[in-house]
Amino acid sequence: MHDTAQAGGQDTPPSAQHGLPYPAQGTQELQGPRYIVAGLGHDVVSVQEFSAQCAAPESEFLACAFSVREIRQSQQRSAAKGDKIAAHLAARWAGKEAFLKAWCEALSRRSGGTGSSAGEAGIPTPSTRAPYTYPYTVDNFPWREVEVVSDNRGVPHITLSAEMEQYLSRSLGVRAGNGEGGIEGREENSRGEAGCGASPYIDIHVSLSHDGPVASAVVMILEITGTAGTAHTAGAAPAAGSC
């Protein structure tokens, strides 16, 4: 065993043992953002059935479900891969449904699992454990306001309309966020870390896949918050688990 005793009988702080800077007396040791999984959603889609639904005579499904940007990106992806556009649109559709499932799970976890799918008014806050109402039903969900689009590297993201973003954040009792790393102008701490010490905000992650007859998507809604650590006296070891 290594002897960590100092003159005066004090133990060497763990950070000092490894040559790390240690906060001076009266200062706070800032911690990075903390991530909590607020909701998780998964959906699978039959590419064949989805294609038939899109091709049905007088069908308005594509116009109601997808933005112009989503359709254009799916066309480009289809041309690059040499496959059918239906597979790429089906994966995006799975992403939208997975997002709705993740949102509903987030509400359920916050409200003790007692809710309905009426789609009426009544937005809960984290402090209320009363029965809640799901934000929408499958029939009245504004699908075009939830875009599943790819960045210039082909990585999918979920982008919400301003109205949808505000509704989502209010329903979960957090600040507005988006699927591309949070909101502009959120607070930063002295080390430039966004969100540290600020009120919670949300971030959305999506993963898409399709293989043969099946398209699939997983969506995770994260609640992100940053807090400052406990102030430590110089030369005294911090409490267990605080750094």
The H-assigned helical ranges of the chain are 14-17, 47-55, 61-65, 68-81, 85-110, 162-172
- Is 43 annotated among the ligand-binding residues? yes
Residue with tokens 């899109």: 54
Q: Which of 185, 177, 188 is nearest to 222 (CA)?
A: 177
- Is 97 annotated among the ligand-binding residues? yes
Distances (CA, A) of 159 to 29, 35, 51: 34, 20, 24
User: Rounded to whole angstroms, how far apart are CA atoms 189 and 196?
Assistant: 6
Q: Yes or no: say if 206 and 155 are a contact pair by the CB < 8 Å rule.
A: no
Q: Give residue 79's identity as a one-letter amino acid code.
A: A
- Residue 198 neighbours by CB distance under 10 Å: 18
Q: What number of CA atoms fall less than 13 Å from residue 63's CA on the CB side?
A: 4
User: Which residues line the annotated binding site for Mg(2+)?
Assistant: 43, 97
User: Which residues line the annotated binding site?
Assistant: 43, 97
